[in-house]
Amino acid sequence: MEPRNETTVSEFLLLELTQDAELQPVLFSLFLSMYLVTVLGNLLIILAVISDSHLHTPMYLFLSNLSLADICLSTATVPEILANIQTQSQSITYAGCLTQMCFVLGSATLENFLLAVMAYDRYVAICHPLRYAVIMNLRLCGLLILLSLAISIMDTLLHDLMVLRLSFCTHLEIPLFFCEVVQVIKLACSDTLINNILIYFAAVVFGGVPLSGIIFSYTQIACSVLRMPSASGKFKAFSTCGSHLSVVSLFYGTGLGVYVSSAFTHSPRKTAVASMMYTVVTPMMNPFIYSLRNRDMTEAIRKLLATIPSFP
C-alpha cells in the first residue's frame, strides 16, 4: 500500500461494538448508565471533600484529584462510543483521534502518579505518625499534585507530537473502541522506531517508577504494622489502606490485563474488552470502593445529599 502524509488523513475507524441491531440500544443504555454513574459518583466525592471540613486532609485532597482524573478518563472514551452507537458509524476524525488519545494517556498517567502519591501519604501516616502533619503539609501536597499533573501533560504532549510526524497508510482501522497511542502508531507507514522507543521509555519511567514507589511504601507499611503490639492497632492501620489497595489492585490489574491480552491473544475484541475494563469500569468502581469502605466519606456524602431538597 502506498503511504500518505498525515495531512491527507481525514478519519480513523474504530472497532464496532456489535453488528446486531437489536443489541445496540441495550449497549447504548448500558454505556450511558455506566458513564452517568462514573461522573456522578466521582463528582459526589469531589463535592463531599470540598464541603466537609473534616475531609480537608492530604488523603482526601489526593482522592478528589483522583476522582477528577477518573471523570476525564471516562469522558475521553464513553461519549465517543455512545455517539458511534447512535449514528451507527465507527469513524473518528484525525483531530478527534489525537485529542482522545491525548486525554486517555494524560488521565491514565495522572492517575498512576496520584496512586503513588497516596501510597506515600499512607506510608508517612503509619510509619511516621508523629511527624505526619509536618511532612504532609499543604505546600508539599500541592507540589506533589502539580508535579503529577505536569509529568502527565509532558508525557501526553510528547507522544502527540511524535504521532504528528508520522505518515499513515490507507488502512486506518483501530482494533479498539477508542484511540490508543500504541494502536495508532501501528497504523503508520513511516518509521516508528523513535515512537516505539519513547513508548517503552515512558512505560518504564512513568509506569514503573510510581509502581515501585507503591510497592516500597506498602512494604514499609507492612513491616511497621507487624511490629505493632496490639491486634486492634494492626487492624486500624491496615483498614486505613484498604480502599487505596483495592483501587491500586483494580487499576494495575486491568492495565496488566490489557497488556497480556494484546501480547498473547490475536483477538482484537478480547483486547478491546480488556481495555474497556481499564478505561470504563475502573473509573466507575473507584467511588464505590472509597465510599463503601470509608465511614468518613460515607457520612460526608450523606450530609451533602441531605442539603439537596430531593434528599431530605
Domain that holds residue 195: 6-306
Q: What is the mean pLDDT of residues 166-185?
A: 85
Distance CA 312, CA 303 (A): 10
- 102-112: per-residue pLDDT in tens? 999 999 999 99
| Per-residue pLDDT at 17 exceeds 80 | no
CATH of the domain at 212: 1.20.1070.10
Residue 312 located in a structural domain? no
| Per-residue pLDDT at 234 exceeds 70 | yes
The confidence score (pLDDT) of residue 231 equals 76
Q: What percent of the chain has pLDDT over 90?
A: 37
Residue 46 located in a structural domain? yes
Q: For residue 153, how many other CB atoms are within 10 A of its CB?
A: 14
- 192-209: per-residue pLDDT in tens? 889 889 988 988 888 889
- 254-294: per-residue pLDDT in tens? 877 777 666 566 666 777 777 888 888 889 998 888 877 67
- 243-253: per-residue pLDDT in tens? 888 889 888 88
Distance CA 203, CA 197 (A): 10
Residue 194 located in a structural domain? yes
The confidence score (pLDDT) of residue 261 equals 63
The confidence score (pLDDT) of residue 266 equals 65
The confidence score (pLDDT) of residue 6 equals 43
The confidence score (pLDDT) of residue 23 equals 84
Cα dihedral: 122, 123, 127, 129 (round 10): -40
Name the domain count of the chain. Answer: 1
Residue 61 located in a structural domain? yes
Residue 249 located in a structural domain? yes
Distances (CA, A) of 242 to 119, 237, 246, 293: 11, 9, 6, 8
Model confidence at 310, in pLDDT bands (50, 70, 90)? low
Residue 221 located in a structural domain? yes
Residue 311 located in a structural domain? no
More confident residue, 28 or 259: 28
Q: What is the mean pLDDT of residues 120-144?
A: 92
Distance CA 202, CA 28 (A): 34
Specify the pTM.
Answer: 0.89
Residue 1 located in a structural domain? no
| Per-residue pLDDT at 1 exceeds 60 | no
